[in-house]
């Protein structure tokens, strides 16, 4: 059976919020961030995950990417270097090239700051 290639061109966005209880996410309204980002129509889909860096979070990423329809995955969460390490195995298992991840540190931002920063993830290069 022919192996499906990535590259359909969909942009997916995941907001990860350390279970919503971490002080780093207290300044923003998580649901307003998602609603505002969704209204911008810059991603093909947006979703929230409470804790991507544990077992079921890894499973979520594997299932999400299994259909190979996501060309780029944008994750707003903690430190981008940590994200690269934490999600590496899930990406490898899904055959998702790590260079297709765009990660952002969203911690300690207000709702408005978070939305602006997320919009900046997809801003065309100057």
Q: Which residues bind ligand SF4 (CB under 6 A)?
A: 16, 18, 51-53, 77-78, 86
39 or 85: CB nearest ligand SF4: 85
4 or 98: CB nearest ligand SF4: 98
- Closest approach, Cβ 2 to ligand SF4, in A, equals 34
CA 120 to chain centre: 14
- Closest approach, Cβ 57 to ligand SF4, in A, equals 7
Tokens of 77: 């969460």
23 or 124: CB nearest ligand SF4: 23
Q: How far apart are CA 25 and CA 20, in angstroms?
A: 7
DSSP string, 53-91: TSHHHHHHHHHHHHT--EEEEEEEES-HHHHHHHHHHHH
Q: Name the nearest CA neighbour of 58 among 92, 7, 105.
A: 92
- Closest approach, Cβ 63 to ligand SF4, in A, equals 17
Q: How far apart are CA 27 and CA 108, in angstroms?
A: 6
- Closest approach, Cβ 6 to ligand SF4, in A, equals 22
18 or 47: CB nearest ligand SF4: 18
């Amino acid at each position: 059976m022919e192996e499906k290639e990535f590259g359909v061109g969909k942009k997916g966005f995941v907001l990860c919020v350390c279970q919503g209880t971490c002080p780093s996410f207290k300044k923003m309204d998580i649901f307003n961030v998602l609603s505002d980002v969704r209204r911008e129509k810059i991603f093909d889909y947006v979703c929230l995950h409470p804790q991507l860096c544990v077992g079921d979070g890894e499973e979520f990423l594997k299932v999400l990417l299994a259909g190979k329809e996501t060309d780029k995955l944008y994750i707003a969460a903690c430190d981008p270097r940590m994200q690269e390490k934490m999600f590496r195995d899930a990406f490898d298992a899904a055959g998702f090239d790590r260079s297709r991840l765009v990660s952002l540190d969203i911690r300690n931002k207000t709702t408005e700051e978070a939305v602006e920063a997320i919009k900046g993830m997809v801003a065309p290069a100057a």
